[in-house]
Amino acid sequence: MTDLTLATLLSSRICHDLISPVSAVNNGLEILADEQDAEMRTMAMNLIRTSAATASAKLQFMRICFGVAGSMAENIPLDDARELAVGLTKDTSVSLDWRAGDVMLDKEAVKLLLNFIMIGFEALPRGGTLRVGARKEGATSLMISAEGPKARMQEKSAEILRDGAELASIDAKQSSLYLTNAIAKSLNATIHVIVEDERIELGATL
């Protein structure tokens, strides 16, 4: 039942993240159907394009971030992860500072890094800078930092990342934190969490 519970929570989480952009596409289509004013129709088309792009970027990101992705190669170039991160942050108030080297990583390590990126992105409700680093010199080191106005992470979230949790004690929003901890454990890694004023940092050495 544990796998089913986690799948249910992650499904709810994905649906929650997609409701807003998909609803915006629908709103834009309704405006196009009823509106004759050229300026309003142009605004509606821009809304549809932007919202559809946002929904697509989130789906592509979460497909790798949360999914099994069994068709993926065992090792993945970090350029692929960078493209996903660029799509996630495009047209948002979050600036991506990519400092990861040009290396190939095990797909589970890439999933861990993508989950770090998702967590950092969501920790910046008013925008800011999301820095991403990865290095492979014997051991593999992964790191993200999120810095900006009102950057935040609740202590409960930090605890789930560091120590895990009982599935019965978490909600859909926290399911990605649970998954991130589980991925780190599967790689025999411990997640380090630093929460400072308007800045958070996540890291792991594999």
Q: Which burial class, exposed, middle or buried, applies to 19 when counting CB atoms under 10 A from its CB (0-12, 13-18, 19+)?
A: exposed
How many domains is the chain partitioned into structurally? Answer: 1
- Stretch among 13-17, 92-96, 102-106, 124-128 having the lowest mean pLDDT: 102-106
Query: With contact defined as beta carbons under 8 Å apart, do 62 and 87 qualify?
Result: no
pLDDT at 70 over 60: no
pLDDT at 93 over 90: yes
Q: Quick one: pLDDT at residue 68?
A: 63
- Stretch among 71-75, 93-97, 108-112, 193-197 having the lowest mean pLDDT: 71-75
DSSP annotation of 93: S
* Domain extent for 146: 2-205
Q: Quick one: pLDDT at residue 37?
A: 81
Q: What percent of the chain has pLDDT over 70?
A: 97
pTM summary value: 0.90
Q: Quick one: pLDDT at residue 146?
A: 97
Q: Mean pLDDT across the chain, nearest whole number?
A: 89
Residue pLDDT, tens place only, 102-131: 788 888 999 999 999 999 999 999 999 999
CATH of the domain at 35: 3.30.565.10
Calculate Rg over the CA atoms of the chain: 18
Distance between CA atoms of residues 33 and 17, nearest Å: 26
Average pLDDT in the 132-155 region?
A: 91
Residue pLDDT, tens place only, 146-157: 999 999 999 999
Q: What is the dihedral of CA 90, 70, 167, 201, to 10 degrees?
A: -40
Average pLDDT in the 27-32 region?
A: 88
Tell me the CA distances in angstroms from 199 to 90, 103, 122, 127, 193, one per residue in order.
21, 27, 12, 12, 11
- State the chain's maximal CA–CA distance in angstroms: 63
Q: Quick one: pLDDT at residue 144?
A: 96
Q: Quick one: pLDDT at residue 71?
A: 54
Q: Quick one: pLDDT at residue 69?
A: 55
Average pLDDT in the 51-80 region?
A: 81
pLDDT band for position 80 (50/70/90)? confident
Query: With contact defined as beta carbons under 8 Å apart, do 142 and 109 qualify?
Result: yes
Distance between CA atoms of residues 156 and 192, nearest Å: 14
pLDDT band for position 77 (50/70/90)? confident
With b meaning 16 or more CB within 10 Å and e meaning fewer, what string describes 58-95?
Answer: beebbebbbeeeeeeeeebebebbbebbebbbeeeebe
Half-sphere exposure of 182 toward its Cβ, with a 13 Å CA cutoff?
14
